[in-house]
Amino acid sequence: MSIITDVLRSSSAILKGMKRTLSEIPREKWTVQYPEEPVTVQPRYRGMHLLHVDEAGKEKCVACYLCAAACPSDCIYIEAETDPRPYADRIGRDERYAKVYNIDYGRCIFCGFCVEACPKDAITHGYNFEISVYNRADLLKTKDDLLITKQKQSKNYRVALSTEDVDSEFKEV
Ligand code: SF4
Ligand code: SF4
């Protein structure tokens, strides 16, 4: 192959690349100036988990361990406890509740198997993705981090198709 053919082929490749780049310039920009502008996440997005409560604020989790058994990453740790007090006084909706409920986000792969396995709809994926930390140990989240009534919510995202700034499922504390 001659040098001239080589130069022509290279020039053609460069022109092709430049044409593609220039054609993108007038198009709508998808870049978001996060965190100044909120990021839009899709309704199916799997973010940090939420542990749910019933209408009276009682925890729905009955510490059955099904989520932990379904987890392929072995990142859920639960300690069960029994609270025989009347419904109005106890922590959970049922007598049995999770005294300890930890998820290690250093291992979680956000597969959603735990959510599928739960017979009480006690755990779902929320939309919070801001879980970056400087220390690996801080990726271990406890019940206080996961409970829907306690989890700190960010204003830095909105859910697509939602009219609110953040998903209505979230509560600010
Ligand atoms: S999302 Fe998957 S990896 Fe993460 S805790 Fe649930 S089952 Fe385990
Ligand atoms: S979150 Fe659901 S599956 Fe997991 S221990 Fe609680 S009730 Fe059982």
Over residues 72-82, the pLDDT tens digits come to: 999 999 999 99
Give the residue, by CA position, lying nearest to ligand 1 atom 5: 108
Token pair for residue 99?
A: 């005294």
Q: How far apart are CA 88 and CA 115, in angstroms?
A: 27
Q: Under a CB-based contact definition with an 8 Å cutoff, are residues 117 and 133 in contact? A: no
Question: How many helical (H) and strand (E) elements, i.e. helices and strands, does the chain have?
Answer: 4, 7
Q: How far apart are CA 8 and CA 1, in angstroms?
A: 11
Q: Decide yes or no: CATH 2.40.50.1070 for domain 3-159.
A: no
Q: What is the pLDDT of residue 45?
A: 92
Measured in Å, residue 134 CA sits from the centre of ligand 1 at 22
Q: What is the pLDDT of residue 163?
A: 64
25 or 110, which is more confident: 110
For the chain, which residues make up each domain, given as ranges?
3-159
Which residue among 54, 60, 67, 75 has the greatest number of ligand 2 atoms within 8 angstroms of its CB, and so is best to mutate? 67
The residues with which 147 forms a beta bridge, in sequence order, are 51
